[in-house]
Structure 1
């Protein structure tokens, strides 16, 4: 088994008891979770602001202005059913059928071993080889610097998400297929921010901000294609592909900016910030990259491939769709 990297994941922390709050903060640090403490009043608004969460930690006796924590759990589950909710039980009563549907992970106060097992089983159900994560960030950064030569490209720390909400208005999707994986890569960004970045001169000379949405789509598509070409050169052996050829429907709901790949597995996510070194005060362009290995994922086979394959870098050649 190859060395796996400890990726973070953001969780919404809804806890009112001071002792339990500190206990859960320590637990999050131990598990690699980035806790976002909120009150019951702020919970729904926070879900609207953050589209890249890994789960929710909720106390059963959390004070709520309207209803109780169970009604809040039902609201969260209805808004984002893909997010696992970890409920700290403070009572002994059996759960109803509807409560069990809304909260599939619950643990008794003080039962951190049970919580740890649930978090590992759900949020961190897939482990990513460190060499793969570092390689993807490196080749993606190189490709973005090639497509946006006048921008400063900075990658944030990779993390895993369970959310299926699309960031921004412009998205690309391209298959990834090797002996050790089958899935997709997405790039997502905001249309106005991409156009503003070109106005600032991120791209090649002569490529300004007077672009229609089709040209912006094409630009992000070429960026995706360049990353995919580098990924193929480095990680896909030319003589073999994954044996599994199953497919699942990809569901896209444009009104709710929601996309599902038919899997509850976490997704590898990296946010890239493109800024203007000449004008550091201007807001950066954010491009979000997601890797979804929903059809086949074998880090053990990746380790064997990485050990045997030569280090092939990106050729810089643009593959055509």
Structure 2
């Protein structure tokens, strides 16, 4: 059976000059469910300005970037913090894992320090700032299964693949269309987003891959389709969750949190620093004539989240025993 820590990952952007440390960090990422990314030919800030969702940024204190005029990691951390304030920044130091000797200017934007000689100092930071919420593996499986089935039901001659689910700390949006739906169960309350790009979805409709009339297609059809994807996925998931624990009067949530959106910056905030649970799905044309279409599904439990209560009601405890070989189905 796949362990929880091998099923949920997070992307971290790494700015590291020392080859030996790069190798150590690569092994650390592999062991701790992280996907390590590093800048290629372009500058550090160009990398951050691109629309990639991240969980954290790792910088060595000696990192330099001539393209941006950055002479050390503290300057880079300050610039990144100004650009992406929601991202925790961890700085690698030589021989120490604290910030006590730094000035207020040097500390600006830095969530914490670590020493690669002591990997636990980095793991502690990741646990504190990124893995701040438990997401039970059975809940993740339910989300994937229901969404996969929903997409398969809505599209013709399309194969659906999905990558490992992951956590992000930033608040970027993907593509140019977005569907947002309040979601609530006895254990949580928040929102589900589904994001995509308009033109590839239009091509799917025009090619007759949906039940929508393909003769005259515009953005309204795409928005309607995205809404149907959202409703179908949540409807199926809600049915399965409520089968575990029917809601009572006490389960009703009466709290609201403001949602703020900056469309120009592709930024949305749900009033919380809690990590977002993200899923990426790709629709592949089995005929080979249409380009793949990417969909991102994100869950933000910004109002209520009680994983312990979910685990108490989770019938997958039996399913897990069957998968592990401890039990057999009659």
Instruction: Give the 3 Å change call, closer, same or farther, for CA 239–109 of structure 1 in structure 2.
Output: closer
- Deviations along 1:74-96, one digit per CA (max 9) or x if unpaired, are 22111111111110024877222
Determine the C-alpha separation between the residues in 1 that align with 2:158 and 2:208.
8
Residue aligned with 1:102, SS: coil
Point out the more displaced range, 270-279 or 296-305.
296-305
- TM-score (structure 2 length as normaliser): 0.86
**Aligned position for 2:34:** 33
**Aligned position for 2:230:** 224
Determine the C-alpha separation between the residues in 1 that align with 2:81 and 2:23.
25
Q: Which has the higher contact order (CA 8 A, sep 6+)?
A: 1
Determine the C-alpha separation between the residues in 2 that align with 1:235 and 1:27.
35
Determine the C-alpha separation between the residues in 1 that align with 2:130 and 2:12.
10
Determine the C-alpha separation between the residues in 2 that align with 1:309 and 1:211.
47
**Aligned position for 2:262:** 253
- Deviations along 1:34-76, one digit per CA (max 9) or x if unpaired, are 1112269532222233421111110010122113222221221
Any gaps of 5 or more consecutive residues in structure 2?
320-330
Determine the C-alpha separation between the residues in 2 that align with 1:61 and 1:91.
13
- TM-score (structure 1 length as normaliser): 0.88
Q: Is the 8 A contact 1:74 1:102 kept in 2?
A: yes
Determine the C-alpha separation between the residues in 1 that align with 2:216 and 2:14.
43
Determine the C-alpha separation between the residues in 2 that align with 1:255 and 1:238.
41
Determine the C-alpha separation between the residues in 1 that align with 2:216 and 2:79.
43
Instruction: Give the 3 Å change call, closer, same or farther, for CA 63–125 of structure 1 in structure 2.
Output: same
Q: Out of 289, 298, 302, which is 2:306 matched to? A: 298
Q: Out of 99, 117, 126, which is 2:106 matched to? A: 99
Q: Is the 8 A contact 2:164 2:279 kept in 1?
A: yes
**Aligned position for 1:56:** 57
Any gaps of 5 or more consecutive residues in structure 1?
312-321
Alignment map for 1:239-318 (pairs within 5 Å) = 239-240=247-248, 242=251, 245-279=254-288, 282-307=290-315
Find out whether 1:190 has 2:197 as its counterpart. yes
Q: Out of 82, 88, 99, which is 1:84 matched to? A: 88
Alignment map for 1:91-170 (pairs within 5 Å) = 94-170=101-177
Residues matched between the structures, number: 307
Residue aligned with 1:278, SS: coil
CA-CA distance at 1:207 after TM superposition: 3.1
- Deviations along 1:266-305, one digit per CA (max 9) or x if unpaired, are 11111110111011x6420001000111111111111122
CA RMSD of aligned residues (A): 2.4
